[in-house]
């Protein structure tokens, strides 16, 4: 039974490069044995052989299928083992899974990305896709918040992004070299003036940030149908079977991970 | 028949258990009476199964005897969950190759309540053959082409059902149905289960009825439709992957690497199970995740009775 007809089977991927981002975050550049096409906003199940598997969003451009990037925080059992791996080591990968971002919905609009911490990886994939058809979007605005200047990922790309999109950054706690805003990510929304009638907002980040980010967007005047959330929950299968990731009757892995707030707003406990 | 591994209900310590049929115990097969302890998922989706690495082709297909209507009713949920967009080839193979001989229920357990959730104690669909014990023989109903084929060439033991036998069968079925209805008289309500559950997110019933829960997961594991699982990687070399039964009652069920969980409190997990049974699965697969088999009541260490919990929600 090969990977083509067994949905639990991973293909092998070689870790080609490891880029340290922060003290607890690394970007893994991996090359899957037989290629891996995906749509931006989708995710993959990565496995450390003999250790376990977990879902991660790709952070590389979706029009590049021979080499993928994953930016991963060392936060649990599997990720700690992953962080201990070296270039040349083999990981497992299966997918892609999930719906991804509905780029068509964003055409002609001002796209506002409200991103927290390690929510940047899937956002970066989205930014690459938006830039790929830049003339189809009215504006691309990135509001990014991290805890401290050290916690900012893709520092080496910030200046490049600043040239191509409107970029606002903040940290919860600044140091003396920090020249951007200070405070939680929602403070950035006070600086951005958008055309609410013609804007879509994308929220990605830790649960608490997504909760208050969404509330702030509603306060600013966004409609629930114009707020796009990339959701996360405990997940095993990625294929709508194991039921761990459910929000009400939705499988985050299959019906999501991207939902509009309109779809979820009536369900309790969506942020936990 | 050598083609199959035959499993049939056998009596043991006052219960009925699906056991492999061998020469010595053929005479002890209990076709009628009631459902066995193990649901069919035990064999189609074993508690711990190698989903990557195994040569499933080597397995002999199952032939199930004495399956009751409440067991058959669970299969469309499993078929949809493990079919569809990402078909599990192992489940699919086992399911397609299994031969199901069902039987009428004649002596329901005290915990049986199929009639409360739209079922009935005799099979009407989902079997290859159904055997109803009437007097000293069986009335056989054919439910599939495979069932029909199996009977071909056995005319020496088959005869047409006569009117008296048909009447006796109908009478027997009505009596069993009445018996199930009678033992559940106090638990009956008119409202749809879906509405009863989904209209009661905030109810003291969840906390009250989960007070004695010890989070053992027996309700999940005994349930014929519960199918939540975890995946586990086991060897460094070949990407072997195990799939095991999980339980939404466990506190760690939905805990993420960061430590968060949407249901930290026991009553929240308890409530979630009812919502899954009567709302989420209904949304996903167009049917309730409860067939009234009563195994969750029978297996509960805390004497939690789903029928009483539902009835108390209705009273709210």
Residues A187 and A90 in one domain: no
Report whether pLDDT(B156) > 70: yes
ipTM over 0.95: no
Report whether pLDDT(B192) > 80: yes
The alpha-carbon gap from A237 to the nearest alpha carbon of chain B, in Å, equals 7
pLDDT digits (tens, 9 = 90+) for B197-226: 999 999 999 999 999 999 999 999 999 999
Tokens of A104: 């068509």
Confidence band of B237 (pLDDT split at 50, 70, 90): low
Sign of CA dihedral B223, B229, B234, B237: positive
**pLDDT for position A229:** 98
Residues B149 and B36 in one domain: yes
Residues A86 and A201 in one domain: no
pLDDT digits (tens, 9 = 90+) for A188-241: 999 999 999 999 999 999 999 999 999 999 999 999 999 999 999 999 999 999
Check CB contact under 8 Å for A49 and B237: yes
C-alpha B100/C-alpha B128 separation (Å) is 5
Tokens of A130: 């938006």
In a domain, A84, yes or no: yes
**pLDDT for position A3:** 43
* Pick among B52, B259, B273 to test the A interface (most A CBs inside 10 A): B52
Domain-terminating residue out of B129, B159, B187? B187
Angle, to 10 degrees, between the axis of helix B266-275 and the axis of helix B306-315?
90
Residues A135 and A218 in one domain: yes
CATH number at residue A151: 3.40.50.80
Residues B270 and B250 in one domain: yes
Check CB contact under 8 Å for B228 and A243: yes
Residues B172 and B200 in one domain: no
**pLDDT for position A250:** 98
Tell how strand A110-116 and strand A139-146 pair up.
Answer: parallel
- Residue B20's φ and ψ, nearest 5 degrees, are -60, 140
Tokens of B66: 């004495």
**pLDDT for position A269:** 85
What percent of chain B is predicted at pLDDT more than 70?
A: 97
Report whether pLDDT(A249) > 70: yes
User: In this complex, is the C-beta atom of B287 within 8 Å of any C-beta atom belonging to chain A?
Assistant: no
C-alpha A151/C-alpha A87 separation (Å) is 23
Interface subset of B 210-249, CB within 8 angstroms of A? 227-237, 239, 241, 243, 246, 248
Residue with token string 């906003």:
A41
**Considering its fold, how many domains does chain B have in total?**
2
pLDDT digits (tens, 9 = 90+) for A38-86: 999 999 999 998 899 999 999 999 998 889 999 999 998 999 999 999 9
C-alpha A146/C-alpha A118 separation (Å) is 8
* Alpha helix segments (H runs only) across A133-271: 155-164, 207-220, 261-264
In a domain, A256, yes or no: no
User: What is the reported pTM?
Assistant: 0.94
| Of residues B81, B89, B236, nearest to A5 (C-beta) | B89
Residues A219 and A109 in one domain: yes
**Considering its fold, how many domains does chain A have in total?**
2
Domain-terminating residue out of A39, A74, A96? A96
Q: Which residues contact B173 (CB under 8 A, 6 or more apart)?
A: B104, B120, B121, B122, B132
Q: Rounded mean pLDDT of chain A?
A: 94
Residues B102 and B35 in one domain: yes
Q: Rounded mean pLDDT of chain B?
A: 94
User: In this complex, is the C-beta atom of B253 within 8 Å of any C-beta atom belonging to chain A?
Assistant: yes
Residue B180: closest CA among B17, B52, B307 = B307
Instruction: Report chain B residues whose CB lies below 8 A from the CB of A243.
Output: 227-228, 248, 276
What percent of chain A is predicted at pLDDT more than 70?
A: 99
Residues B210 and B170 in one domain: no
C-alpha B204/C-alpha B225 separation (Å) is 26
Residues B261 and B289 in one domain: yes
Domain that holds residue A194: 103-230
Residues B161 and B213 in one domain: no
Tokens of A126: 């989205």
C-alpha A186/C-alpha A167 separation (Å) is 14
For B86-94, what is the mean pLDDT?
93
Domain-terminating residue out of A45, A79, A96? A96
Q: Are A164 and A131 in contact (CB under 8 A)?
A: yes
The full DSSP string for B128-142 is: SEEEEEETTEEEEEE
Residues A64 and A140 in one domain: no
Q: Residue A249 CB: number of other CB atoms within 10 A? A: 16
Domain-terminating residue out of B152, B187, B222? B187
Domain-terminating residue out of A230, A246, A265? A230
Give strand pairing partners of A113: A142, A202
Residues B77 and B121 in one domain: yes
Residues B300 and B176 in one domain: no
For A4-11, what is the mean pLDDT?
86
Residues A21 and A47 in one domain: yes
| Of residues A5, A207, A246, nearest to B280 (C-beta) | A246
Residues B133 and B253 in one domain: no
| Of residues A50, A233, A239, nearest to B256 (C-beta) | A233
Residues B207 and B62 in one domain: no
Q: Which residues of A lie closer than 8 Å to B, measured between beta carbons?
A: 1, 5-10, 12, 47-54, 75-79, 92, 206-207, 232-234, 236-237, 239-244, 246-249, 254, 268-269, 272
Check CB contact under 8 Å for A49 and B263: no
| A-B Cβ pairs (cutoff 8 Å, strict) | 114
CATH number at residue A33: 2.40.30.10
Residue A1: closest CA among B58, B4, B75, B5 = B58
Domain that holds residue B40: 5-187
Residue B272: closest CA among A166, A248, A99 = A248
B247 to B217, B261, B269, B279: CA distances (angstroms): 5, 14, 10, 18
Domain-terminating residue out of B172, B187, B202? B187
Instruction: Report chain B residues whose CB lies below 8 A from the CB of A92.
Output: 233, 239
Burial of residue B138 (number of CB atoms within 10 Å: 0-12, 13-18, 19+): buried
In a domain, A68, yes or no: yes
Residues A114 and A213 in one domain: yes
| Of residues B89, B230, B248, nearest to A1 (C-beta) | B89
Residues A92 and A108 in one domain: no
Report whether pLDDT(A4) > 90: no
For B37-66, what is the mean pLDDT?
89
Residues A226 and A122 in one domain: yes
Residues A16 and A84 in one domain: yes
pLDDT digits (tens, 9 = 90+) for A141-152: 999 999 999 999
Residue A234: closest CA among B231, B131, B260, B274 = B260
In a domain, A3, yes or no: no
Residues A183 and A77 in one domain: no
For B151-180, what is the mean pLDDT?
95
Residues B107 and B177 in one domain: yes
Report whether pLDDT(A100) > 80: yes
| Of residues B227, B230, B234, nearest to A50 (C-beta) | B234
Q: Which residues contact B10 (CB under 8 A, 6 or more apart)?
A: B16, B17, B18, B19, B25, B28, B29, B30
Residues A203 and A121 in one domain: yes
Report whether pLDDT(B277) > 70: yes
For residues B71 and B27, the model is more confident at B71
**pLDDT for position B238:** 67
């Amino acid at each position: 039974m090969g990977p083509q007809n067994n949905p639990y089977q991973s293909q092998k991927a070689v870790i080609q490069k490891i880029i340290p981002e922060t003290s607890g975050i690394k970007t893994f550049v991996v090359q899957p044995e037989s290629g891996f096409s995906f749509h931006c906003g989708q995710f993959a199940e990565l496995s450390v052989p003999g250790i376990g598997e977990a879902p991660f969003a790709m952070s590389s451009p979706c029009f590049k299928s021979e080499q993928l990037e994953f930016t991963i925080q060392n936060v649990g059992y599997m990720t700690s083992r992953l962080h201990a791996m070296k270039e040349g080591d083999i990981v497992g990968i299966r997918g892609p899974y999930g719906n991804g971002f509905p780029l068509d919905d964003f055409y002609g609009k001002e796209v506002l990305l409200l991103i927290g911490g390690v929510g940047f990886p899937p956002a970066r994939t989205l930014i690459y896709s938006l830039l790929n058809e830049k003339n189809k979007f009215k504006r691309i605005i990135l509001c990014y918040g991290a805890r401290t200047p050290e916690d900012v990922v893709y520092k080496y790309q910030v200046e490049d992004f600043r040239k191509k999109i409107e970029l606002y950054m903040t940290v919860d706690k600044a140091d003396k070299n920090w020249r951007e805003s200070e405070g939680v990510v929602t403070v950035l929304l006070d600086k951005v003036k958008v055309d609410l009638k013609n804007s879509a907002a994308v929220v990605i980040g830790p649960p608490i940030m997504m909760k208050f980010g969404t509330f702030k967007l509603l306060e600013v005047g966004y409609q629930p149908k114009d707020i796009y959330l990339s959701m996360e929950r405990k997940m095993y299968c990625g294929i709508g079977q194991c039921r761990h990731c459910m929000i009400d009757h939705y499988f985050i892995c299959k019906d999501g991970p991207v939902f509009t707030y309109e779809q979820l707003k009536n369900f309790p406990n969506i942020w936990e | 028949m050598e083609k199959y591994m035959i499993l049939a209900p056998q009596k043991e310590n006052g219960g009925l258990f699906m056991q492999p049929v061998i020469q010595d115990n053929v005479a002890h097969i209990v076709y009628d009476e009631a459902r066995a302890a193990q649901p069919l998922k035990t064999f189609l989706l074993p508690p711990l199964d190698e989903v990557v690495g195994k040569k499933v082709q080597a397995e002999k297909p199952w032939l199930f005897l004495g399956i009751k209507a409440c067991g058959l009713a669970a299969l469309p949920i499993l078929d949809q969950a493990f079919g569809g967009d990402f078909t599990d080839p192992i489940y699919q193979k086992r399911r397609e190759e299994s031969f199901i001989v069902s039987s009428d229920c004649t002596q329901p357990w005290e915990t049986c309540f199929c009639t409360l959730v739209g079922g009935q104690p005799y099979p009407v669909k989902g079997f290859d053959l159904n055997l109803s014990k009437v007097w000293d023989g069986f009335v056989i109903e054919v439910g599939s082409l495979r069932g029909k084929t199996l009977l071909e060439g056995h005319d020496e033991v088959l005869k047409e059902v006569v009117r008296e036998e048909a009447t006796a069968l109908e009478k027997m079925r009505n009596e069993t149905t009445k018996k199930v209805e009678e033992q559940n008289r106090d638990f009956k309500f008119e409202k749809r289960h879906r509405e009863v559950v989904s209209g009661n997110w905030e109810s003291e019933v969840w906390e009250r009825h989960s007070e004695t829960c010890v989070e053992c997961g027996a309700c999940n594991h005994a349930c014929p439709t519960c199918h939540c699982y975890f995946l586990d990687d086991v060897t460094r070399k070949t990407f072997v992957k195990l799939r095991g039964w999980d339980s939404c009652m466990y506190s760690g069920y939905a805990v993420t690497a960061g430590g968060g969980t949407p249901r930290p409190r026991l009553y929240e997990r308890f409530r979630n199970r009812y919502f899954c049974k009567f709302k989420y699965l209904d949304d996903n697969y167009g049917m309730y995740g409860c067939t009234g088999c009563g195994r969750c009541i029978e297996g509960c260490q805390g004497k939690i009775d789903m029928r009483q919990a539902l009835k108390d929600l209705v009273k709210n």
